[in-house]
């Protein structure tokens, strides 16, 4: 919503005094952006986070397309989502939201070819991993107007270095990997760590253990 409605640009416009100097309180063409309601959302990676995004998008009456390694029929029914090939998603979506892990297969999966497939009025949202997107190609796309804008919470290099070309662009929002930065979420994260440690100390399998095959090599417990 922030990138599509140009919220940061508008805030800067007011703070810089440009609004006052314009002498115009309201104008039909001032800071025009795009609605989110009723648009097509393309989700790449309909996992736990991607499906959570889809559930929230339903509140905006969005049409949901998704692409992933495999179809998820139950989620399709629940969310009213439609599985499509990646090229189709990129061509049809007004907003493309990335929710995939960084692997050999997903490294730079959004590059020049993919960005050129997107609508000129479309937005790219990356809250997955920075290297899923080819940053150089994205800078070119934003400068030359292949797409309308982007919002990036993750970057190929973190922290983002000074004088990076992304800083020069008004049609991109840059945040410092703060997608989970709320008191509620960080407290939940800390509780999950504690629950896993307690389970391990009791000789139980930690509830959110990722590499579960490790218990075949070493049983849980400190003794």
Question: Known catalytic residue: 177?
Answer: yes
- Do the Cβ atoms of 124 and 147 come closer than 8 Å? yes
Query: What is the mean predicted confidence (pLDDT) over 73-101?
Result: 97
Reported as a single tens digit per residue, the pLDDT across 113-141 is 999 999 999 999 999 999 999 999 999 99
Q: Residues of the chain with pLDDT > 70: what percent? A: 100
3-state secondary structure of 84: coil
Question: Does the pLDDT of residue 89 top 90, yes or no?
Answer: yes
Nearest C-alpha neighbor of 98 from the set 154, 43, 178: 43
The single residue of 6, 99, 129, 155 carrying the catalytic annotation is: 129
Helix (H, G, I), strand (E, B) or coil at 172: strand
Task: Give residue 223's pLDDT.
Answer: 82
- Residues 70 and 76 sit within 8 Å (Cβ to Cβ): no
Say whether pTM exceeds 0.85. yes
129 is known as an active-site residue: yes
Q: Give the residue-averaged pLDDT of 188-206.
A: 97
6-26 pLDDT per residue, tens? 999 999 999 999 999 999 999
Candidates 158, 168, 195, 204; catalytic one: 158
Residue 158 is a catalytic residue: yes
CA–CA separation, 172 and 151 (whole Å): 5
Residue 215 has pLDDT above 90, yes or no: yes
- Residues 6 or more apart whose CB falls under 8 angstroms from that of 183 comprise none
How is domain 34-174 classified at the architecture level of CATH?
3-Layer(aba) Sandwich (3.40)
**How far does the chain reach from its first CA to its final CA, in angstroms?**
51
């Amino acid at each position: 919503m922030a990138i599509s409605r140009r919220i940061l640009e508008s805030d800067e416009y007011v703070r810089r005094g440009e609004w006052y100097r314009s002498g115009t309180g309201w104008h039909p063409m001032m800071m025009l952006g795009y609605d989110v309601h009723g648009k097509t959302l393309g989700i790449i990676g309909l996992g736990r986070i991607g499906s959570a995004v889809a559930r929230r998008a339903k509140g905006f009456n969005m049409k949901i397309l998704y692409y992933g390694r495999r179809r998820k029929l139950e989620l399709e029914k629940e969310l009213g989502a439609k599985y499509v090939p990646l090229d189709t998603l990129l061509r049809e979506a007004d907003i493309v939201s990335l929710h995939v892990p960084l692997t050999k297969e997903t490294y730079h999966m959004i590059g020049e070819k993919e960005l050129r497939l997107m609508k000129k009025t479309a937005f790219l949202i990356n809250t997955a991993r920075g290297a899923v997107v080819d940053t150089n190609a994205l800078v070119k796309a934003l400068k030359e107007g292949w797409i309308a804008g982007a919002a990036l919470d993750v970057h190929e290099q973190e922290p983002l270095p000074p004088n990076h070309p992304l800083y020069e662009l008004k049609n991109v929002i840059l945040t410092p990997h703060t997608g989970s930065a709320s008191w509620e979420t960080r407290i939940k994260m800390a509780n999950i760590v504690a629950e896993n440690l307690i389970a391990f100390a009791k000789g139980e399998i930690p509830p959110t253990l990722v590499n579960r095959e490790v218990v075949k090599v070493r049983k849980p417990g400190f003794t």
